[in-house]
Structure 1
Amino acid sequence: MRTILARGKGVALAEWTDGDGEWFDEHSDGVFDVDRDGRPLPFTAPIHRAVVTTEDGAEVLGVVSWHPVTYGPSYGCLAWNFGRALLPSARGRGIGTEVLRLLVRHLFDSTDIDRIEGSTDVTNTAAQRSMAKAGFTREGVVRGGQLRDGERHDLISFSILRSDVTDEKLTASQIGRAELASGDG
């Protein structure tokens, strides 16, 4: 049984377990996977991962990850950068939007970082609509931000601030406390 981090309308974010990455890679179509060029990154940042599951945690629908990025030398300059991928069978059902709402709620409830950001391919209009529906603001184009199939691809960047949540861009149910555990009663 997986530990549920946050639960929403038909989906949940659950703790990452051994083998989840390999399982997801075997079942994904990899449509937006980036090239791995073999060079190590010149820095390390902790990468946090969760699986997207059905509300009961029984079926894996996708993955989400987040890591810190900084725009200056102080803690106040930190942001969370996230990535998400849904299995082909889970796309087109509104799950991506609900996943983002759950992730926003989880990160703002469990940390004191005030900015969450993410980006998507310029051709991935479904993901762009999903981010907007989840309350994210479109910021602009990240030119050549990803290397896929040996070519540079532009991305569209989005962000949400903690203060956006209180601006009623998100519903009251999305602002509520994250569910870290549940049981009978």
Structure 2
Amino acid sequence: MNPCGDLLSDLGVGVRKIVFKGDGFALAELAAGDLEYLGEHGDGAYDVDRDGREIPIECPIYRLAVTTEDGTELLGHVMWHPVTYGPSYGCLAWNFGRELLPRARGKGIGTAVLKAFVRHLFDTTDVDRIECSTDETNVRAQKSLEKAGFTREGVLRGAQLRKGKRHDLISYSILRTDLKKK
């Protein structure tokens, strides 16, 4: 129980329910206004262009906040959605993205957040594959993914449109069985 809960709500800061507590961070449910705050305080370094066309499929996007251990300070967020490689549940995977605010980067929590997030998804769902991709120039993210146990799979040529140019992404994945090997 947060003794400052009412005070935080009065100040316009949402009280977040913590899902997982790590060393120096927590994964928590997003509070009202969190996405707007992230948008205003992020640096947009890898934001993709919006071209006005709607994506012709609808799939749910799930999100958790990355916060300080007590859940009061927003540090970033993780988001994930299902992707499928065939007509059965066994072909289902989670594709995710992670964004830390500039002030939260370089403090060693990125890899810990990835490990906790992977554990959370494998503990709370039956999906056996988690995947993501990162810009080919984002070497820090690539190193973090590899430290968290992800396997580099290859290059997704021209997969994102940013600032009017196509950018290659590096794809990564981790399987439930990979965790058992360690």
TM-score, normalised relative to structure 2: 0.90
Give, in angstroms, the shift of residue 92 of structure 1. Answer: 1.1
Matched, 1:116 2:134: no
1:160 to 156, 174, 182: 174
Counterpart CA distance in 1 for 2:166 and 2:32 is: 32
2:112 counterpart residue number = 98
CA offsets per residue over residues 33-83 of structure 1, 9 Å max, x none? 111111111001100011100111111000110000000011100000000
2:25 counterpart residue number = 11
CA offsets per residue over residues 133-164 of structure 1, 9 Å max, x none? 00101101010111100111000000000000
Instruction: Note the residue ranges of structure 1 that are not aligned, 5 or more in a row.
Output: 169-185
Moved over 6 A (4+): none
1:107 to 121, 126, 129: 121
Matched, 1:138 2:135: no
2:35 counterpart residue number = 21
Given residue 78 of structure 1, which amino acid in structure 2 is its aligned partner? L
Counterpart CA distance in 1 for 2:145 and 2:116 is: 12
Where does 1:50-129 land on structure 2 (aligned, <5 Å)?
50-129=64-143
Given residue 158 of structure 2, which amino acid in structure 1 is its aligned partner? G
Aligned residue-pair number: 168
Given residue 87 of structure 1, which amino acid in structure 2 is its aligned partner? L
Counterpart CA distance in 2 for 1:31 and 1:131 is: 18
Give 1 or 2 for the bigger CA radius of gyration: 2
Counterpart CA distance in 2 for 1:122 and 1:14 is: 29
Given residue 74 of structure 1, which amino acid in structure 2 is its aligned partner? S
Given residue 133 of structure 2, which amino acid in structure 1 is its aligned partner? S
2:48 counterpart residue number = 34
